[in-house]
Amino acid sequence: MNSPAPGGVRVEVRGLRRSYEGQAVLQGLDFEVEAGEIFVVMGPSGSGKTVLLKHLIGLERPDAGEIRIGGRSIDTPDFMEQCRLAMVFQSGALLNSLTVAENVGLYLTEHRLKPPGEIAEIVRGKLAQVGLEGQENRYPAELSGGMKKRVAIARALVIEPQLMLYDEPTSELDPQMAVVIGEEICNLNRRIGVTSIVVSHDRDMAFGIADRIAVMHEGQIRTMGTPAEVRGCRDPLIADFLSASFKNIRKESAL
Amino acid sequence: MFHSLGEMLVLFGRALRALPLSWRHRRKIFEQLFEIGNASLLMACVLSLFIGAVLALQTGPILAERGLASYIGRMVGISMCKELAPVMMSILIAGRIGSAMAAEIGSMAVYQEIDALRTMNIDPVHYLVLPRVAAISLALPVLVIFAILTGWVGGAVVSSLNPDIGVSFKAFFNDLRSIVGFQEIVNGLAKSFVFAVIIGVVSCHQGFQTMGGPRGIGRSVTKAVVNSIVLILILDYYLTRFLMYFES
């Protein structure tokens, strides 16, 4: 962990299946994400996007299939020691009993990777990267939704990840803050070459930052490709999902 | 039920294996110790003062009627240190500290904080369970010592002030000393140590099992307290039987 992140890692998912109480949530997913790529997974609620992320980071175990990150199966016993992964949760998932600085430095403190003075320095640096200088001593409850998301990103950055997973990074944010977070994801990708997998409903952000997009529906990938390819997809389900808007609601209800 | 018991035993085993890491987590252990002591010491003392007083008040006149008033010291002394202080303090701590543990860990589970720890390769058993179980196992026997002492004082005060009993402070403690020795006190402390481990493991386990938002947290807290108390009372009988072998 002491050395800087050597760029991103390739992710391969093969035949991933998972059911909860007899209900299939992931139905045989197959895809690859290249090292350093920003890969956005879209789809309606309940299509299995977050469950996919939880499998990628090892919080859930599949019923069948395999996930390989950087060429190694995530079932390898010392995988988490060898490969650095980080996840930014939808809620931020900051530890409410710790200050912002303690949250951001938690990985280094708990694994005793640096002396306290150096950790404080790193924390300041990471918070500055996400535009939160001087917020070290505040508690998560005192922060806005956007600030919490940025603290969560700073906490993930401390790990110097090779793979970053984002779960709905722009949910509950105003449009301006959503753009800031989107820019931050792109900046990180440029700066440290991290592979990023982003789960989002936010079409603007997805088409703005993605190298490739996958659209999920009922536990399967319905289409996958570059933003232009996905936009041009003729599948009516995808077209409906991407073109859903409030525009005609008032006219239709007037009729 | 057996599934939960199995899970608790596994959790206890994992906490036990993590015991050599206690020094590394000393700050968190001290924080928990402070929390337990701060929240419970005064209440423990007040509670046991009155338990000792009531015990003397109820049994003293009956003993006096039969000319056995001078035995009130051993009666209160042995009851407090072998049974009442360990069991009552454990029930108090299950209510005050066990519920707080279940609520805190439950809230962390619901709001994905425990998942966040796992993604950072931080073992939640090392980070959350070890400090809590270690702290409660240290704190409860200390609280029980205070409870025993204040319980004795409560009994002695009532015995000396109540004209139906009429045993002086000095006579009370002389009689108490004649029967209560080091072994009796260790007996009570051993019980409280086991009860502390039960409260810690049951409460942390319930916290980890929490699902479904604030209602789920409430359910976990209730289960943690009820299960702890039930296990304490059941195990109290078997522990008493077990410890009796050493006395004989």
CATH number for the domain harbouring residue A204: 3.40.50.300
Is B113 within 8 Å of chain A by CB? Answer: yes
Residues A69 and A101 in one domain: no
Residues A104 and A153 in one domain: yes
Strands A64-69 and A195-199: unpaired
Q: What average pLDDT score do residues A29-56 get?
A: 92
Kindly tell me if the per-residue pLDDT of A80 is higher than 80. Answer: no
Residues A67 and A189 in one domain: yes
pLDDT tens digits, A197-254: 999 988 889 999 999 999 999 899 999 999 999 988 888 888 888 887 776 666 665 5
In a domain, A255, yes or no: no
CA-based nearest residue to A194, from A166, A170, A229: A166
Least Cα separation, residue A206 to chain B (angstroms): 24
Residues A207 and A141 in one domain: no
The type of residue at B148 is: I
Residues A12 and A79 in one domain: yes
Residues A207 and A166 in one domain: yes
Instruction: Report phi then psi at A215, rounded to 5.
Output: -110, 120
The 3-state secondary structure of chain A reads CCCCCCCCCCEEEEEEEEEECCEEEEEEEEEEECCCCEEEEECCCCCCHHHHHHHHCCCCCCCEEEEEECCEECCCCCHHHHCCEEEECCCCCCCCCCCHHHHHCHHHHHCCCCCHHHHHHHHHHHHHHCCCCCCCCCCHHHCCHHHHHHHHHHHHHHCCCCEEEEECCCCCCCHHHHHHHHHHHHHHHHHHCCEEEEECCCHHHHHHHCCEEEEEECCEEEEEECHHHHHCCCCHHHHHHHHCCCCCHHHHHHC
> In this complex, do B115 and A80 lie within 8 Å of one another by their Cβ atoms?
no
Q: What average pLDDT score do residues A174-194 get?
A: 85
Kindly tell me if the per-residue pLDDT of A26 is higher than 70. Answer: yes
Q: Between A and B, how many residue pairs show a Cβ–Cβ distance under 8 A? A: 47
Least Cα separation, residue A81 to chain B (angstroms): 8
Q: What average pLDDT score do residues A62-71 get?
A: 92
Banded pLDDT at A2 (limits 50, 70, 90):
very low
Least Cα separation, residue A96 to chain B (angstroms): 8
Residues A26 and A141 in one domain: no
Q: Which residue has the higher pLDDT, B122 or A175?
A: B122
Surface-to-core class of residue B240, CB atoms within 10 Å of its CB (0-12 exposed, 13-18 middle, 19+ buried): middle
What's the confidence (pLDDT) of residue A191?
83
What's the confidence (pLDDT) of residue A3?
42
Banded pLDDT at A22 (limits 50, 70, 90):
confident
Partners of A58 on chain B (C-beta within 8 Å) are 118-119
Q: Hey, of B23, B28, B119, B217, which one would you mutate to test binding to chain A, going by the most A CBs within 10 A of its CB?
A: B119
Taking a C-beta distance cutoff of 8 angstroms, is the pair A6, A70 a contact?
no
Residues A136 and A104 in one domain: yes
The number of distinct structural domains making up chain A is: 2
Query: CB-CB: which of B24, B108, B119 is closest to A57?
Result: B119
Partners of A57 on chain B (C-beta within 8 Å) are 119
Partners of A91 on chain B (C-beta within 8 Å) are 111-112
What's the confidence (pLDDT) of residue A98?
93
In a domain, A148, yes or no: yes
Distance between CA atoms of residues B177 and B17, nearest Å: 40
Q: Look at the alpha carbons of B36, B37, B43, B46 in this order and tell me if their dihedral is positive or negative.
A: positive
Partners of B21 on chain A (C-beta within 8 Å) are none
Partners of A89 on chain B (C-beta within 8 Å) are 112, 115-116
Is A77 within 8 Å of chain B by CB? Answer: no
pLDDT tens digits, A95-110: 999 999 999 999 999 9
Q: What average pLDDT score do residues A48-66 get?
A: 92
Residues A55 and A141 in one domain: no
Q: Which residue has the tokens 């066990």?
A: B98
Residues A166 and A147 in one domain: no
What's the confidence (pLDDT) of residue B193?
96
For residue A146, what are the domain limits? 94-160
Kindly tell me if the per-residue pLDDT of A4 is higher than 90. Answer: no
Q: Hey, of B32, B104, B114, B120, which one would you mutate to test binding to chain A, going by the most A CBs within 10 A of its CB?
A: B120
Is A93 within 8 Å of chain B by CB? Answer: yes
Find, in chain A, the residue whose alpha carbon is nearest to that of B109. Answer: A93
Least Cα separation, residue A104 to chain B (angstroms): 11
Residues A103 and A221 in one domain: no
> In this complex, do A80 and B121 lie within 8 Å of one another by their Cβ atoms?
yes
In a domain, A231, yes or no: yes
What's the confidence (pLDDT) of residue B186?
92
Distance between CA atoms of residues A63 and A102, nearest Å: 36
In a domain, A207, yes or no: yes
In a domain, A192, yes or no: yes
Distance between CA atoms of residues B53 and B157, nearest Å: 7
Map residue B212 onto helix, strand or coil. Answer: coil
So where are chain B's domains? 25-247
CA dihedral A226, A232, A237, A241 (to 10 degrees): 70
The type of residue at B119 is: T
In a domain, A197, yes or no: yes
Taking a C-beta distance cutoff of 8 angstroms, is the pair B117, A109 a contact?
no
Query: CB-CB: which of B107, B113, B115 is closest to A59?
Result: B115
Q: What average pLDDT score do residues A55-61 get?
A: 91
Taking a C-beta distance cutoff of 8 angstroms, is the pair A121, A101 a contact?
no
What's the confidence (pLDDT) of residue A229?
92
Q: Look at the alpha carbons of B236, B242, B243, B247 in this order and tell me if their dihedral is positive or negative.
A: positive
Distance between CA atoms of residues B75 and B55, nearest Å: 9
Distance between CA atoms of residues A42 and B114, nearest Å: 26
In a domain, A205, yes or no: yes
Distance between CA atoms of residues A15 and A104, nearest Å: 35
In a domain, A64, yes or no: yes
pLDDT tens digits, A137-160: 999 999 988 889 889 989 998 988
From first to last of its 248 residues, what are the pLDDT tens digits of chain B?
Answer: 788 889 999 999 999 998 888 888 888 999 999 988 888 899 999 999 999 999 999 999 999 999 899 999 999 999 999 999 999 999 999 999 999 999 999 999 999 999 999 999 899 999 999 999 999 999 999 999 999 999 999 999 999 999 999 899 999 999 999 999 888 999 999 999 999 999 999 999 999 999 988 899 999 999 999 999 999 999 999 999 999 888 76
Distance between CA atoms of residues B226 and B230, nearest Å: 6
What's the confidence (pLDDT) of residue A5?
44
